[in-house]
Amino acid sequence: MSTKLFLIFSSFFLSVNSVNVLVYSPAFAASHTNFMARLADTLTESGHNVTFLVPIIDVARRNQLGVRLTTDVVVVEQDDKASQEHIPFDESMEAYWTMETDSSNVEDSIKWFFDGMKVGCENFLRDRNVFELMKSRNFDVAILEPLSVCGLGFFEKLGIEKTILASSCANYDYLFRHLGEPNEYSYVPSLMSTKGEKMNFFERFENYKVSEGMSRGISRMFDAEQKTYQKYLGENLPDWRDLLPAASLFFTNSNPYLDFPRPVLQKTVPIGGISVDMKKIRSHELNEEWNFVLNQRKHNILISFGSLVQSSHMHTEARDNILKVIRSEPNVTFIWKYETNETSFANGIPNIHFSKWVPQPNLLGDPRISAFLTHGGLGSTNELAHCGKPAIVVPIFGDQHRNAYMLERHGGAIVVQKTELHEWKTLKSAVTKILYDGKYKKNAIHLADLLLNQPLKPKDLVTKYVEFVAKYGPFPEMDPYGRKLNFFQRHLLDVWLMEILGHLALFLIIFWVIPFRLRKMTYLMPVVDVEKRDECIGVKLTKDLIIVEAGEEMLVQKTTDTSSDEIMEVFWKAEMDSSNSREMFKWFSSDMKIACRNFLSRRDIFNQMKSRNFDLAILEPVSVCGLGFVKALGIEKIILASSCTFFDTVLPYIGEPLDFSYVPAGFSVTGDVMSISERYENWLVTKEINAAFEDMHDGETELYKEFLGENIPDWRDLLPTASIFFVNSNPFLDFPRPVLQKTIPIGGISVNMKWTTEHQISSEWEQILNKRTSNVLISFGSMVKSTHMPLKWRNGLLETIKSMSNVTFIWKYESENVSFADGINNLHFSKWVPQITLLSDPRLTAFVSHGGLGSTMELAYSEKPAVVIPVFADQIRNANMLARHKGAIYLHKNHMENVEIVRKAFEDVLFDESYKRNAVKLADILNNQPYSPKENVIKYTEFVGEHGPFPSMDPYGRHHNYFQKTFLDIYAIFALYYLALVIFTLVAARIIYVQIRNCVESKLIKRD
């Protein structure tokens, strides 16, 4: 009886919490359908209701759908018209054995695909019954691969707002411009590229051209599909260019520990390897036939060129050379996946075994397989990478070249071009190395170890993110404003042009006008500011706390110099911009260098740390003193951690872009929508602050070399060696920006909502909160104090508070001298407030904050609308960041004296329900995000401790200068070429004109 009740309850629970998911996957290639089927099965396995919708594009793939667990499979067969127009895909494949795909023919080389997809789209949308059937399912989420936009129009017509793009390839570079993700042609191979990440001038240009060629072809196909979905579903359906960026997420069949490092948006979720089920591979036992084959010899090599381009179509010269190499290795069994029974050409070679089908994953998972000779399809690439097998990769077409070089850079694979298959020396050398040089096996195992132990598993990512999108999506705030900018705006070329013109104008003035007129943890804390010593400790659970106290030089300086509080008072009145930012950071730089000297001079501390044998070190790169210190300790596994959303100074040295055109810098005073002058200021203020920090870091480098050894590298070389970079940013809160995949967002880790909700507030605060129906907390943080606020601003706030007598205002004020507020009954001062507890209390209505990142995070998690009055540094950025979610109002500090403006802002957040509603929505997203910040810190730290460092995640692009990275060197060459062409044309035209004129004049003279 109880078991029945439990089963009934479980069934009810699953049905209530399950998500209705539509997975749309046209059948044209097994690898693509298998990938989408894996997504469907993963969600089905997690208890969700999944419909797998398969329009048949290529009838040869009709029975290659790949789904195992998903039972609701809807196949849209080809009607008579589509059958007559059918494009046979297989007939186009044979040509790839000899065809070299490049920018000159990339569109034509896959014309069969474009034509087939257009026919398939029309066939699918003609079937009205399918639309009505899908309409009745009431899907929560729809997933499709953006190799076609036919499904996007279909989803839009069905009314599905929450869509997810999913790429079965590592990436689709033709999509990037439409999503707002950067395409780094200078060092990231495009999908159809034939080179790796290290490219010369001409290879970079070709990388760009082949990507552009592919984009043109795809765009034309998408335009044709758009006409089709508007024809059958309605002319009012949006352009595909508007539907693509509306997707909530983008799953990519890429793995950051395998793929080329590149900057991605944080709505791009890598799930590379999801098709590889290692548990199933390891549990599967091969049959007697395969055991007999594998046991014949000590070494075994599997040969397979995939299912699209068949071995049986290989040129005879290449095939015969492979046979010659096989014959030369009699102690090795070669298992060749060969599609026909006509193998008489190999008679007399005893160590070769042909098979029309092979259990590839199971063979690769068998320790008796020594190596794999493969075409480099992404499915095979992921399988061999996870199975730890060394490989010879012979790419044939498409993304296979990219995959080959991707594997090669990890040191476990050798690339042999298909044009080299007939060369005895090349192929024999590759086979010998892969079999007998142990480094290939060692590197392949190391890569597999990383992939099998990565912190976040692809299956978990798919399930958690789909559930998250279903409940909280879509996420329009994650759409970067940068995708709306043109090339000149995005790369600040208009800004540079203005600056050049400005310098030119100055030049003219000078020369013309003037003449005329986790585990065991140690927390090491060097004291920098004596006054902040106690409040900066912060640790609660970590017992091993070592404080390096201030030295005599620091104490003397504190008695003679201006105190930090006095410096902070200046920030109330100061407007920080590019003209003064470098100067305003001098005090900080001076204090940090003195503290660094004091810390490094303590040899006893160094010896004590040396004796601990740390696995890894975590430090904030606001200073590089610790970097030199941990390097001298011999700690190779380093994690950078930023208490700010990011540090602009660090980004160029780790190879992460900062798009000044639409991403506010750390000390920017604008949001993501900027005019040309604001974009210029955004760049310039960063340039000035970076110069101040670099000067400080250079000084710290001199110090750690002095105390720890001249052989310790420069800080610029130490920063990129960090395994990962924790940033106090949250992708669902922050401005969207491209990041490297070793940048891990942990924004909000300092907010413990569980502790807060369980914490009882004192009776004193109970009494204050119960006085009135509305309560507002005012706090300007702990650095810039309310007591230092200019009087005219303070008086403006007081007058506003006094005019709102039905609201209790709680003001964190650092002095007991508050006589200036006598007679204001609805104002309560306190030198200290339990801020996070108050923010979590439902009786608190709103928050007036300075916008420090700690307060910003607490506010965002606590469902409270706010008025944010930033004072200095990153607070302005944080204010704009909150305001774009429409739960907060950004009020400039200069406006505090204007009672009308302040009162309007206060009343809006108190009585306009939209602010409360938006604040609750944001908190709901943050409190239920797929992976909590705490999980990320623990999982990634353990991963680095066991498997780091990760030099393969260091992007080659950081070695490029600005001109190489933005292709300006290439554009300059072509600009000169076209300029020379124009000049030549004009000169030639002039010469011809003169000749004709002379000729005419001569005839006229003779006639006269």
**DSSP result, 292-340:** HHHTSSSEEEEEE--SSS-GGGS-HHHHHHHHHHHHT-TTEEEEEE-SS
CA proximity to 738, closest of 213, 41, 141, 268: 268
* Domain end (from 255, 289, 315): 255
729 with 643, same domain: the answer is: yes
Query: Is 544 inside a domain boundary?
Result: no
pLDDT computed for residue 83 by the predictor: 84
Q: What is the pLDDT of residues 192-220, one digit of tens each?
A: 999 999 999 889 989 999 999 999 999 99
Give the pLDDT of residue 640: 95
Q: Tell me, what's the pLDDT at 435?
A: 97
Tokens 């409360």: give the residue. Answer: 916
Q: Which of 905, 679, 655, 677 is nearest to 797 (CA)?
A: 905
Q: Do both 658 and 626 map to the same domain? A: yes
Task: Give the number of other Cβ atoms within 10 Å of residue 843's Cβ.
Answer: 17
Report helix, strand or coil for 776. strand
The residues with which 830 forms a beta bridge, in sequence order, are 812
Three-class secondary structure of residue 637 per DSSP = strand
Alpha carbon distance 274, 42 (integer Å): 9
| CA distance from start to end of the chain | 125
What is the model's pLDDT at position 766?
94
Find out whether 391 and 373 touch, Cβ atoms under 8 Å: yes
Buried b (16+ CB within 10 A) or exposed e, 522-536: eebbbbbbeeeeeee
CA 789 to chain centre: 40
| 178 and 192 share one domain | yes
Claim to verify: residue 655 and residue 673 sit in the same structural domain: yes
Long-range contacts of 280-286 (CB under 8 A, 24+ apart): 280/361, 281/361, 281/362, 281/364, 281/365, 281/387, 282/365, 284/359, 284/362, 284/365, 286/359, 286/362, 286/363, 286/366
d(CA 239, CA 249): 19
Q: Is residue 467 included in any domain, yes or no? A: no
Where residue 287 sits, what CATH number does that domain have? 3.40.50.2000
- Distance (Å, whole) CA 604 – CA 583: 35
Helix (H, G, I), strand (E, B) or coil at 739: strand
> What's the pLDDT at 567?
63
Q: Is 644 within the bounds of a domain?
A: yes
* Rg (alpha carbons) of the chain, rounded to whole number: 33
Q: Which residues of the chain, if any, have pLDDT below 70? A: 1-16, 90-92, 491-520, 529-539, 553-568, 1007-1008
Going by C-alpha positions, the residue among 55, 176, 62, 183 that lies closest to residue 122 is: 55
- For residue 968, what pLDDT is reported? 81
Residue 479, CA distances (Å) to 1, 263, 417, 733, 763 in order: 52, 15, 40, 12, 45
What is the C-alpha to C-alpha distance for residues 427 and 433, in angstroms, rounded to an integer?
Answer: 10
Residue 510: predicted pLDDT: 37
For strands 49-55 and 72-76, give the pairing.
parallel
Report the domain count for the chain.
6
In angstroms, how far is CA 223 from the centroid of its own chain? 28
Q: Domain of 492?
A: 484-516
Main-chain phi, psi angles of 116, to 5 degrees: -65, -40
Q: CA 543 to CA 536: how far, in whole Å?
A: 16
Residue 896 is encoded by which pair of tokens? 């505090």
Does residue 789 share a domain with residue 743?
no
The predicted structure's pLDDT at residue 511: 41
400 & 490 share domain: no
Same domain? For 976 and 860 the reply is no
Report if residue 469 sits inside a domain: no
Q: What pLDDT, on a 0 to 100 scale, did the predictor assign at position 557?
A: 60
Same domain, 706 and 806: no
Identify the domain boundary among 453, 471, 496.
Answer: 453
Owner of token pair 């469907």: 40
The residue ranges of DSSP E strands in 481-622, in sequence order, are: 522-526, 544-548, 616-619
- Predicted pLDDT at 2: 40
Q: What pLDDT sits at residue 90?
A: 67
196 contact partners, CB below 8 Å, separation of at least 6? 189, 260, 405, 406, 408, 409
- Residues 143, 185 within the same domain: yes
Is 327 found in the same domain as 220?
A: no
352-364: string of b/e by CB count within 10 Å (b at 16+)? bbbbeebebbbbb
- Residue at 463 is within a domain: no
| Cβ–Cβ < 8 Å for 616, 944 | yes
- CA 383 – CA 585 distance, rounded (Å): 52
* Distances, alpha carbon 192 to alpha carbons 198, 417, 586, 600, in Å: 16, 15, 50, 51
Of 208, 223, 255, which residue sits at a domain end? 255
459 located within any domain: no
CA dist., res. 67 & res. 812, Å (int): 60
My answer on whether 779 and 661 are in the same domain is no
Spell out where 689-771 has E strands: 724-727, 743-745
Instruction: Judge whether 130 lies within some domain.
Output: yes
Report the alpha-carbon distance of residue 467 to residue 456 in Å, rounded: 16
CATH number at residue 113: 3.40.50
CA gap 848, 346 in Å, rounded: 81
- Report which secondary-structure segment, H or E, holds 18: none
Question: 656 and 604, same structural domain?
Answer: yes
Bridge partners of residue 49, in order along the sequence: 20
User: How many whole angstroms separate alpha carbon 73 and alpha carbon 53?
Assistant: 6
Predicted local distance difference test score (pLDDT) of residue 560? 53
Give the tokens for residue 908: 């809006």
CB of 572 within 8 A of CB of 784?
Answer: yes
Question: How many alpha carbons lie under 13 Å from residue 412 in its C-beta half-sphere?
Answer: 26
Q: Which residues pair with 744 in a beta bridge?
A: 726
Residues 920, 886: Cα–Cα separation, whole Å: 11
| Residue 699 falls inside a structural domain | yes
For 722-773, the pLDDT digits (tens) are: 999 999 999 999 999 999 999 999 999 988 887 777 778 899 999 999 999 9
Burial of 729 (0-12, 13-18, 19+ CB in 10 A): buried
